[in-house]
Copies of this chain bind each other. A is one copy, B any other.
Amino acid sequence: MSNRWVLSEYDVTSPYQQPAPFLKAAKQHGLSVTHTRLFGGRRDGVELLTVQNGEFSFTAIPTRGMGIHQAKYGTTRIGWDSPVEGPVHPQFVPLSEPSGLGWLDGMDELIVRCGLESNGAPEFDAESGRLKYGLHGRIANQPTEDVVVEVSPDGEMCISGEIRETRFLCYNVAMKTEIRTKTGENGFRIRDSIINRAAQESTAQMLYHINMGAPILGEGASVVCPVTELCPRNDHAANDVDTWSTYKGPTAGYVEQVYFMQLAADANGDTCTLLKSASGEQGVSVHFNVKQLPYFIIWKNTAAEADGYVTGLEPSTNFPNPRSFEEKNDRVLRIAPGATYEIDLGLQFHPDAASVAAIEKKIAGLTEGKDAKVHTTPQSTWCS
């Protein structure tokens, strides 16, 4: 091998120096962060921030709207193997392609935000036929401005930054994001503030596409949700509505099945869902508030590994239908001039049967004594 010259291995350059006081503060709490900038191929120029918190680590992508590329607990990966093999720099993601599907060229993350002006299926102008809203919007392919990492005196690290969707004369909404993890936490918490920077009312949508594959997803894995009402998105999903909460192993030719729902919550609106491995010994819970994110979507894509074996747990301000359908059904945020819409979202890893059982019990408590209304067909006001 001595005569090989390997050019574009996962090569990185680290343009930022971390100041000594910051390093010291982080180290004192057992935390660290690394900054890298990737080189070569479709990832050329992508910046990453990887946070290590004991056994738990995760990687945020400033270049891609501060999405979360993947997380890890020890050797357990939390994320999935997308055929896309990113992270892909936005310069190689043709959001403006007339088909409205260019977004799929970059879909690779554990958490990818869909918004802000729109999310969901592409929509075309009824009259001209031209693309109006591309699939899942622009926010995931906008780079982050003003990135800062801080450590608080009580051992909480916070990555923050702002992502802007600004078109002069047309749209001016930004998202300030803060991602926090505290010493000993096997997860992180996100606070996103959607800010209307314009001088008049503006609209927005937000969906968190939280994507996981093996090893947590596998044949016999299941999703635990405190459902109050549920329906399949289309006839294809309706065929298997009875098994909406359990997963197949990788299945060549599997066509995605999607279920729309609303969830029970505690008195504050806080709720939780769980992806549980087949053995029940590992799980990932997703925490949010139904006052902020009133809708929830399960995306099942248990396709062959080569095609992306994955499921999505998706808290959202709306269902991912074309935007005009959501507007008609009053599932679009209206934000006053200068006002902010706050969203809290947490992801926690459960490394053993006991912690999985505990969170499952908590979820069960949310629906105690309430019946879930499960529709066996798509509902006209939910599904376009």
Q: How far is the CB of A303 from chain B (nearest CB, A)?
A: 7
Copies of this chain: 3
A83 touches B306 (CB 8 A): no
Asked whether B198 lies within 8 Å of A101 as measured between CB atoms, the reply is no
5 contacts between A and B (CB under 8 A): A4-B149, A82-B168, A83-B166, A92-B143, A124-B128
Contact B41 A144 (CB under 8 A): yes
Check: A42 CB closer than 8 A to any chain B CB. Answer: yes
With A8-B147, A41-B143, A62-B40 known to touch, is A200 a contact of B168 (CB < 8 Å)?
no
> B-facing mask of A169-195, CB < 8 A → 1, else 0?
110100000000000000000000000
Q: Does A287 contact B (CB under 8 A)?
A: no
- In the complex, the answer to whether B199 meets A307 with C-beta atoms within 8 Å is yes
- Chain B CB count within 10 A is highest, among A47, A83, A149, for A83
What's the tally of chain A residues with a CB closer than 8 Å to chain B?
86
Q: Are B169 and A104 in contact (CB under 8 A)?
A: yes
**Given the complex of chains A and B, what is the CA–CA distance between A124 and B165 in angstroms?**
25
Q: Is the CB of B104 within 8 A of A148?
A: no
Instruction: Please give 18 more A-B residue pairs, beta carbons under 8 A apart, in addition to A169-B301, A198-B307, A200-B307.
Output: A2-B22, A3-B25, A4-B148, A4-B150, A5-B148, A5-B150, A7-B148, A9-B146, A40-B147, A42-B145, A82-B168, A94-B96, A98-B130, A99-B132, A105-B168, A107-B168, A128-B129, A306-B337
Q: Does A90 count as interface, using CB distance less than 8 angstroms?
A: yes
Question: Which of A13-21, A237-245, A265-273, A316-324 sits within the interface?
Answer: A13-21
Q: Is the CB of B5 within 8 A of A142?
A: no
Task: Please tell me if the beta carbons of B42 and A164 are within 8 angstroms of each other in the complex.
Answer: yes
A256 adjacent to chain B (CB < 8 Å): yes
